[in-house]
Chain A
Amino acid sequence: MSDIAAAAAKVPLGRRIRRFMSDRPLVPLVILLILLVLLLQILRPGIVNERWIANTVKFAIPLAILAGCQTMTMLTGGIDLSVSTVATMAAFIMASQAVEHHAAVAIAIALMPALLIGLANGIGVGVFRVHPLIMTLGTSLIGTGCLQVYQRTVIASGTRIPDFLTWLGTGLTFGFPNALALFIPLAALIVFTLHRTGFGRLLYAVGDNEKATRLSGVRYWQVIIALYVVSALLAGIAGLLYVGLIKAPSSLSLAEPLLLPSVAAAVVGGTSIFGGRGGYTGTIVGALILTVLTTLLTILQMPEGSRRILFGLIVLAVTAAYLRIVEDR
C-alpha cells in the first residue's frame, strides 16, 4: 500500500492535474466558463447578477439545441450544416401559418420541411454515402431557395408569433427563463439517449469504427437516417424557440449566425469531429462559454471585425488546449 502511495506522490503535480482533467473532461470546461464570468465581472463590476445570468441562459439555449444536432452527427463522424436553414424555415413558416391557423397546426406544418430535409440528409449520407458536409450544405442551399420562393407567396398575409412561443422564448418565472422548461427535458432526453439507449451506443459505435459496426450486423443506413431526421427536428424546435426570443419572424437569415457557433460549441465541448468521442453535457457548457464570450467581446466595445477575429482564435485555442489535455495519457 505505501509503495503505491509513494509512487503516486512521485508523479509531478502538473501531470497529475492533467490526468485528473483527462478523466473528467468537464472540469476544465467549467473552470474556463467560471474564469470568463470572473473576467466579465472584473471588467464591468456588478454586471453579473440574476438578470444577466437569466439572459445568458436564454440566449445559450437555442445555440445549445443546435449544437446538440452537431454533437450527435459528429459522434458518427458527420456534421449537419443545414441546421440553421432548417431552424429559419421552421420559424418563418410557423410565423406565417400562425396568421390563419391555430398555433399547434402552424407548428406541425412548420416542422414538415425539417422532417423532409432531415430525411434527404439521411438518405444522402446513409444510403448514397455522400460526405455529410456536402450533403447538408446542399440541402441547406435548396432549403434557402424554397424558403425564398415560399416567402413571395405569403408576403401579403403577414406574420404572427404565437404568444406562448414568446412566453417560452423571453419569459421568466421566479427568475428562471421559461425556455428551461423545454430545454431541461430535451437535454435530459438527449443525454439519456446517448448514454443509456441502444440508438445512442450505435451512434458512438458507427463513429468509432463504421466497418466493425456494419460487420456486427448494424444497419448503417437506418441509424444514419434516424440520426439526421432527429437532428433536423431538433433544429426546427430550436428555430421555433429562437423566433420567440428574437421576435423577427420575417428575417430569412434568422438562425444563420448560429451555424458556425453551433459547430464551435460542440467542438469546444469536447466532441471529436471525427466521431466516436464526446457527449452532450460538454456541448451545453460549450454553448454557455460561447455565449458568455460574445457578451464579453460586446462589452469590450470591439468593432465587429476584431470580435470575429478573437472569436476564431479562441475557438482554435480552446480546441487545441482541450486536445492536449484529453490526449495526454
Chain B
Amino acid sequence: MSQFVRRQGWVSGLIVLFVLLLVVTRLIQPGYGAGDFGSLMRAALPYAFAVAAQTTVVLAGGIDLSVAAMMALTSVAAASMMNGASEEFAALVVPFVLLIGLTLGALNGVLIVVTRVPDIVVTLATLFVLQGAALLVLEAPGGAAAEWLKALIVGTVPIPGMPDAVSAWMPKALFLLLISLLVVWVPLQRSRLGLSIYAIGSSELAAFRSGVPVAWVRIAAYAGSGLFAAMGGLTLTMSTGIGAPIPGPYLLASVAAVVLGGVTLGGGRGGLLGPIVAVFVLRLVRTDLTLLAVDPNVTSIIEGVIMVVVVMLGAFIAMKGRPA
C-alpha cells in the first residue's frame, strides 16, 4: 500500500512540475498559447511512444536497446510503402507496419528466451540488425506519407459543447497518443498478462514458482514494446512526411524518461503514466531553453545535466527508501 502511495506521489509530483513549467513558459514568453502547446505535443509524440515501448520491457525486468532502431525501421517501411501509393492504400500500410513491429518485438523476446543470452546483448544485436534492415529499405531519407495520416496529428479536436478556448488546448497529437496508449495499455494492464509482466519483473523465480509462464510473458512484453515502437515509427513518418533510416536520439531519451517517470530499472514497479508525463516535462524544458534563446548545443548539455541529476536523485531516494 505504501508503495502504491509513493508511486502515485511521484507521478503527481511530475504533473505538478509540468504545470509549473508551463507557468514558467508563460512567464518567459507571454504569447505562449494553444498553438505552441500543440506543436510541443507533436514533437513529443515519437518520444512518448519510445518511452511506452521501453516501459513495457523495463516493467518485465528487461531492457530494450533496439527501440530507436525499431522506430527507424518501421518509419522507413511505412514511408517507402506509402510512396506514390493511393490514400486508401495507406489504411493497409498502418496495420501492416504495426504487425511488423509486433513480430520483430516478439522475435527479440524469443531470442532472449531461446538463446539465454542477456537481454542487453540480444537487443544490442537486434539494434544492429534493425538498423541494417532500415538501411536496406531506404538508403537515404525519403518516401512519403498519406495526407490523411499527416492530418491526424495537426490541429485540434473540437469538443462539442466546449468553448473554442478550451478545445484549442486539445491538440490532435495528444488525443492520438492517449487513444493509442489506452487501447493497448488498459486491456493489457487489466489482464492476467499485465499482472504477469509485473510479476516476472519483481521476482522471476517467485513468478515461475507461482505458475506464471515466464518465457511467454517475456516474449509478450517484448512484442508489446515492438508494437509501441512501431507506433512511434509511424508518428515519425506522420510528422516529417518521410522516413529516415538513421535512428534518432530516442534510446537515451526513453531510458531517461522511464527512470524519471518512477519506473525502477530492474522491473516490477511503476506504471505508464509517469514516464509519459516525464517525456512532456523533458520536452517542455527543451522548449523553455529555446525560448530563452540558449544556444542549442548548450541546451543539450543542460538537458543532459538535468537528466543525470534527476536520475541520481531518484536513485538516491530509492536507496534511502529501501530497508537497509
Contacts and interface: CB of A to CB of B under 8 A. Distances in A.
B244 to A, nearest CB: 14
A228 to B, nearest CB: 14
B124 A130 contact: no
Interface stretch (B37-45, B156-164, B252-260): B252-260
B148 interface: no
Contacts of B86: none
A311 B131 CA distance: 11
B121 A319 contact: yes
A145 B132 contact: no
Contacts of A131: 259, 265, 315
Interface residues of B, number: 46
Contacts of B255: 133-134, 137
Interface in B223-274: 252, 255-256, 259, 265
A313 B107 CA distance: 13
A296 B318 CA distance: 48
A152 B299 CA distance: 15
Interface in B15-61: none
Contacts of B1: none
Contacts of B303: 141, 145
A106 interface: no
Interface centre among A134, A146, A306 (most CB of B within 10 A): A134
Interface in B278-324: 295, 297-301, 303-305, 307-308, 311-313, 315-316, 318-319
A304 B136 CA distance: 8
Given A149-B295, A316-B125, A139 B308 contact: yes
Interface stretch (B109-117, B168-176, B214-222): B109-117
A134 B311 contact: yes
Contacts of A134: 255-256, 259, 265, 311
A306 B307 contact: no
Contacts of A274: 118
B67 interface: no
A311 B126 CA distance: 10
Nearest to A308: B132
A260 interface: yes
B265 A273 contact: no
B286 to A, nearest CB: 12
B304 A308 contact: no
Interface string B77-104: 0000000000000000000000000000
Contacts of B126: 312, 316
B278 to A, nearest CB: 13
Interface of A: 79, 120, 124, 128-131, 133-135, 137-139, 141-142, 144-146, 148-149, 152, 260, 263-264, 267, 272-274, 303-313, 315-316, 319-320, 323
